[in-house]
Each structure stands twice: as structure tokens, then as C-alpha cells.
Amino acid sequence: MQNERGEKIGSSGFHFLSTVPTTNTATAKFTIGTTLVNDAPSQITSKSSMGRKENRSSYRFLDMEVSSATQPWLVSQWRDMEWTEEQRTNLMKTVSSYRPSCGEVTRAQVLLLGPVGAGKSSFISSVQSVFNGRVTNRAMVGSFSSSFTKKLQPFNIHGQKGEDPTGVVLCDIMGLSDGEMTGLTLHDVLSVIKGHVPEGHKFSPSHPVTCETVGYVRRPSLQDQIHCVVFVVDASKVISYPKGLSTTFQQLREHISDLGVHQVALLTHVDKVCPDTAKDVTNVYKSNIIQEVMNKAGALLGMSTSYIVPVKNYSSELNLDVNTDVLLLHAVDHILQ
């Protein structure tokens, strides 16, 4: 399919022109969400004030065009990040040694909320993999249109071998939808946050949580409650999510704020929207693409981008990568802070 300028576009309306230098004639091929896009490199030729011709690489993504005289990424990071083995070790120590300051709470309970397929379960498995020293999949991950996770499942993040569990618990839950017929209801989400829902409860839109629900916690303690909510959104689907989902996010954030619970967000699958980050995750904070997508995610959630961090989950990899570990651990540290 082509637009009025003769450019190829995917069925979802994505535009993606390769970010490789224009001297490279290879055709770029990337999968963006569910849309396969094939586009040749785009070249913009202009004359400088000295009369020289300048080649400028250009790309379009998420209906945004970015062009620069050099590369579509920045020379320096737009967020400070150290990509070293030492940083990885320090972050692991920080997360491992974390303990809630409140005496009534021994573990900080973090609830991950997001659309089906956003990467909630994958994030939990990826964080566990970092501490296990190998890629594991304790939190079952699905790739279906409906949510694989149906129950409220808390996962303890265990320290390295021989160490006690960390002071953080990541709670997986059924995916959100743009309505209340196929996904979690607002009522059930708030019941979880307040601590009324027992571990292992299976959610169903047709059977909302009530005081008659088996295992219902009538007088939840502070330990039973959720202490931080993490919204999870897929970078490759930010603008293709249905409008109703944005409304769902807004309603959730308002009610959660009324409960005094902190909120942050994860931007997953950043490697799917930026080919340079896919090759080298250390480019994540140099990428103009990811910075723009993060702004779109902030608009979707109604949240400042200072509360949003990008992550790359382990999926098909068999071995851990130091830089991917650093990005994941930084996200956990951001949540704990």
C-alpha cells in the first residue's frame, strides 16, 4: 500500500524508512508490531551555505519524520547510563539489599498492569533470569490475542545463589483491554491494589471480585496491599492501541492516585522500533526514535516521561547480556526508588 507520496506503508499506517547511511543500498526489513515493512533507504540531498551537497538520512515512524545531517541518534545519551559489568554488579547489590523502610511491610509488592502481550510476564522472567545467572521462564509467557495470565501471581525475586529473596515481589495479572468484556475490570484492579484479592485468584469479567469471593481478604493489612503500580506498554504498538485503552489508563491512574499508590511505567520491545538499539542496546538513550515513542507513551498514559523507562526483555536469547541486564536492573531500581 502507498501513500500520496508513493511511499510504502504497512496496513496499520506505520511509516519506516531505514536509518542506515544512504550509501548502503541494502533494503531494510523490520517487523513493527504485526506489520512487516520493507523500505529502501531514503536520501535527502540539500545544499549547504557553502554550496556543497549534503546527504541527510531520514526516517518516518509513528507518523513522525526525523532527519539529521548525520545519524538519527544523538552523540550523547539523553539519560545518563553506565554500561559496564561493574554497574551491573552494583545494581544487583542495590536490588538484592532493598528492604522496605516500613516495619509492617517485609516485601514491597509491585503490580504490573498493561495490555495483553505488552511484556509483563516477560519482564518478570527477564529480571529473574538476571539473578539466576541464566535465561529462565518462570512466569509463563504467551503470544496470543487473549491474556495468557488469568490469575494473580506474585513472584519473589530471589537473590544470587545462596542469598535470601530480595525485598520486592513482582505481581503478574490478567491483561487490560479497551473495554471490560474481555480483560480486567476497573473494580477488580482496585480490589487487588487494596489487598482484597487472594493469591491465585482467577479473574473473569463476568464474575467480579466481591466479599463472597473465595479467599476474599476482608481486612487487608499493609503487607497485603500493592505498594507500586507499573504500567507496561509495547513501544511497537503505542499509536495502534485502541482509543478506549487510553481512557482505561486515565481512569486507572486517577483511581490509583486517589489511593495514594505510586505509579511508574515500562516501555517494552524498544528493540522492535529502533534497529540500532536492536543491534546494540546501549543505543537506547541515544535514539531519537525511542525518545519520540516515549513521548507518545507518556501521552497515552497521561504520565510524565520522567516516570517511564525503556526495557528490552529476554525472548529468544539463550544467554544473558551485560547491557540488557543493566537496562532491566535499572528499571527495577527505578521502581524501588
3-state DSSP percent of the chain in helix, strand and coil, to 5: 30, 20, 50
Specify the pairing of strand 308-310 against strand 262-268: parallel
Domains contained in the chain, number: 1
**How many CA atoms, within 13 angstroms, populate the side-chain half-sphere of residue 184?**
30
Report pLDDT for 72.
Answer: 63
d(CA 154, CA 192): 12
Residue 226 lies in a domain: yes
Q: Which residue in 63, 62, 68 sits closest to 42, CA to CA?
A: 68
Over residues 103-108, the mean pLDDT reads 92
Residue 287 is part of which domain span?
104-141+149-335
Task: Flag whether 13 is in a domain.
Answer: no
Burial class (CB in 10 A: 0-12, 13-18, 19+), 162: exposed
Query: For residue 61, is it within any domain?
Result: no
In Å, the largest CA–CA distance within the chain is 78
**The pLDDT of residue 28 is above 90:** no
Is the pLDDT reported for residue 244 higher than 50?
yes
Res 15: pLDDT: 37
> What pLDDT, on the 0 to 100 scale, is given for residue 291?
94
Write the pLDDT tens digit of every residue in 140-176: 554 444 444 578 999 998 877 667 888 999 999 988 8
Considering the domain boundaries, does residue 62 fall inside one? no
- Does the residue 74 lie in any domain? no
17 occurs within a structural domain: no
| Dihedral pair phi/psi, residue 211, rounded to 5° | -65, -10
CATH number, domain containing residue 204: 3.40.50.300
Type of residue numbered 152: L
- Please write the tens of the pLDDT for every residue from 182-229: 578 899 999 999 999 999 999 988 889 999 999 999 999 999 999 999
Within-domain flag for 90: no
pLDDT classification of 303: cutoffs 50, 70, 90: very high
pTM of the model: 0.78
Domain-located, residue 127:
yes
